[in-house]
A and B are shown apart, each in its own frame.
Chain A
Amino acid sequence: MGIRRNPAARSIAQQAFALRDRYPDGCVRLRPDALRWRCELTPSALSRTYTVELGYRLGGHPQVRVMKPILDGRLGESLPHVFRDDSLCLYREGEWSSSMLLADTVVPWAAEWLFFYELWIPGGEWYGGGEWPPPRTVGSPNASGTEAPVLDPSVQD
Chain B
Amino acid sequence: MLLAERTEQLDELLGISIAGFDIPDSLYARVISRYEHTASALADYWPDGAGLIYPQGSIRLGTVTAPIDREGEYDLDFVCRRELLREQITKRELKLDVGDGLRGYVLLGPDGQPLLKEGGRCWTLDYPKEPFHMDVLPAIPDDGLGASKTAILITDRDEALWLNSDPIAFADWFHARMREELIQLSEAVAKRMEIERAPASELKTALQRAVQALKRHRDIHFRGSTKDAPASVIITTLAARAYRPGGSLHEVLVDITARMPGFVERDEAGWRIANPVASEENFADRWEGHPKRVQQFFDWIERAQSDFAGFGSERGVDTVLVKLAESFGEVPARFARERLGGEVRQMRDRRLLGVAATGALGSAGRRVPQHTFHGDPPEPRRA
B355 proximity list for chain A (CB < 8 A)? 107-108, 111-112
A108 to B320 Cα, complex, angstroms: 23
A89 proximity list for chain B (CB < 8 A)? 373-376
A8-16, A28-36, A43-51 - the one binding chain B: A43-51
CB distance from A53 to the nearest CB of B (A): 13
CB of A41 within 8 A of CB of B359, answer yes
CB of B371 within 8 A of CB of A47, answer no
The verdict on B227 contacting chain A, using a C-beta distance below 8 Å, is no
CB of B345 within 8 A of CB of A129, answer yes
A40 proximity list for chain B (CB < 8 A)? 358-359
State the main secondary structure of chain B at its contact with A.
Answer: mixed
The verdict on A99 contacting chain B, using a C-beta distance below 8 Å, is no
CB of B3 within 8 A of CB of A45, answer yes
The verdict on B61 contacting chain A, using a C-beta distance below 8 Å, is no
Instruction: Fill in one digit per residue for B281-321: 1 if any A CB lies within 8 Å of its CB, else 0.
Output: 00000000000000000000000000000000001111011
CB of B374 within 8 A of CB of A47, answer no
CB distance from B87 to the nearest CB of A (A): 62
The verdict on A131 contacting chain B, using a C-beta distance below 8 Å, is yes
Given A46-B13, A133-B374, A112-B315 contact (CB < 8 Å): no
CB of A90 within 8 A of CB of B9, answer no
What number of B residues sit within 8 Å (CB to CB) of A?
A: 51
A24 to B315 Cα, complex, angstroms: 23
B369 proximity list for chain A (CB < 8 A)? 104-105, 108
A123 proximity list for chain B (CB < 8 A)? 334, 337
A47 to B379 Cα, complex, angstroms: 25
The verdict on B200 contacting chain A, using a C-beta distance below 8 Å, is no
CB of A42 within 8 A of CB of B360, answer yes
CB distance from B89 to the nearest CB of A (A): 56
The verdict on B6 contacting chain A, using a C-beta distance below 8 Å, is yes
**Residues of A participating in the B interface, judged by any CB pair closer than 8 Å:** 22-25, 39-50, 52, 73-74, 76-84, 88-93, 95-96, 104-105, 107-116, 118-133, 135-136, 144, 146-147
13 pairs, A vs B, C-beta closer than 8 Å:
A42-B358, A47-B317, A74-B378, A76-B380, A81-B374, A118-B316, A122-B334, A125-B338, A126-B373, A127-B345, A129-B345, A133-B376, A146-B374
**Residues of B participating in the A interface, judged by any CB pair closer than 8 Å:** 2-6, 8-10, 13, 315-318, 320-322, 325, 333-334, 337-338, 340-342, 344-345, 348-349, 353, 355, 357-362, 366, 368-381
